Amino acid sequence: MVGVTGGIAAYKSVHLVRLLIKAGHEVTVIPTEDALRFVGLPTWEAVSRNTVTTSVHDDVARVRHVALGQAADLIIIAPATANTIAKMAAGLADDLLGTTLLATTAPVVIAPAMHTEMWRHPATQANIATLQARGVRVAGPGDGELTGGDSGPGRMREPEQIVDEALAAIAPGDLSGIRVVVSAGGTREPIDPVRFLGNRSSGRQGVALAADALARGAEVTLVAANISADILEAARGARIIPAATASDVADAMRDAAASADIVIMAAAIADYRPALAADHKLTKEEGALTRIDLVETEDIVAGLAADRHDGQTIVAFAAETLADADERRARARRKRERKGVDLLVVNRADAEHGFEVADNTVEIIGDGGAVVASAAGSKRDVARAIWDAVLAERR
């Protein structure tokens, strides 16, 4: 269930509902009367595919004002205004959303949205503390541009982030007690102080793997190679180790893998690096940029597989530009054998696929070269499928 209250950020919640529907969830929207001043009732009905009402006097025979809360598996309030947060803390139930919240035992996640002064007010902070003490999860707020040209903490998180945090509240705890290390992002091998050899990896898939592992109860270390702060935000709660080069990632992964139960190498590691990085900016006058001598970087995942301890599961990634699926699988099978890993996740990567996009499509190669699983959709959806395959492998 999604509750929508009277803030300008209500327009973002339309996309939030669409994301939940797309992920296969049944969604009922309960807007407040003020929320309908920002987004109309027909929009909520169209996007949720369910009847929408704000009144406790509708569907009285079914006792709707109680039944909605009893039936909910998860309740998300987005945006959650200062007024709504105060009413929740006080236990007020003067509308359908309020009665539903009092009638539910489901996890509740709120996404605050208000001006900075309102968010920082002692009353709001006390109300947030009260709700958290009762088990309510607070997603945000973010720090950024607000209505009226102001800027600061109080901006509602983006729908994708809210969905991830909310679904974490009902995620299975099947990784509880498991220590996980994931690498993500793309390495940068310096040519000189201003240039490097790199790749187009944003780190989104690796961060999604870390985020889903956290949601499922794991203790997570994320080795982050050149990942922007906004993407890393999804992995809050993980121990994050920044890494720049292939050598940095290798050192961090060796250290973290020593005590890990599961190791996933999702980072895009440079195969080669300049033999010598200049200590000054190379210029055309020097002619030094017409030729760069390269040397191979360490094969990190093969080293981790060779040094694994008993019971450790190791997963590698392979990004392939081959359009033919059979050829991609054949190359992935050879790579899995060569690296000595338990599972290899292969995906197509080119200008339109894999890197720097929101969605991904993968196949997971297991024992004997069999395709043990496949997944397509958002990178968080793909992450869930990968973890399911990893747990099946460990069983």
Q: How many C-beta neighbours within 10 Å does residue 241 have?
A: 19
39 contacts 183 by C-beta, under 8 angstroms: no
Q: Which of 380, 374, 370, 384 is nearest to 347 (CA)?
A: 374
- Rama region for 121: left / alpha / beta (φ>0; ψ in -120 to 50; rest): beta
**What is the secondary structure of 28-90 as a DSSP string?**
-EEE-TTGGGTS-HHHHHHHHSS-----TTSSGGGTHHHHHHHH-S-EEEEEE-HHHHHHHHH
Q: 318 has which bridge partners?
A: 346
Which pair of tokens denotes residue 122? 């002692």
Known catalytic residues?
199
How, if at all, do strands 179-185 and 219-225 pair?
parallel
Sign of the four-CA dihedral 140, 145, 147, 151: positive
Q: Please say whether the beta carbons of 99 and 69 come within 8 A.
A: yes
Written as six digits, the tokens of 151 are 């800027």
Q: What are phi and psi of 7, to 5 degrees?
A: -135, 160
Helix residue spans in the chain (DSSP H):
10-22, 41-48, 64-71, 82-90, 96-103, 116-120, 122-133, 159-168, 204-215, 229-232, 246-257, 300-306, 325-339, 379-394
Query: What whole-number distance in Å separates Cα of residue 161 and Cα of residue 230?
Result: 10
- C-alpha–C-alpha distance, residues 392 and 389, integer Å: 5
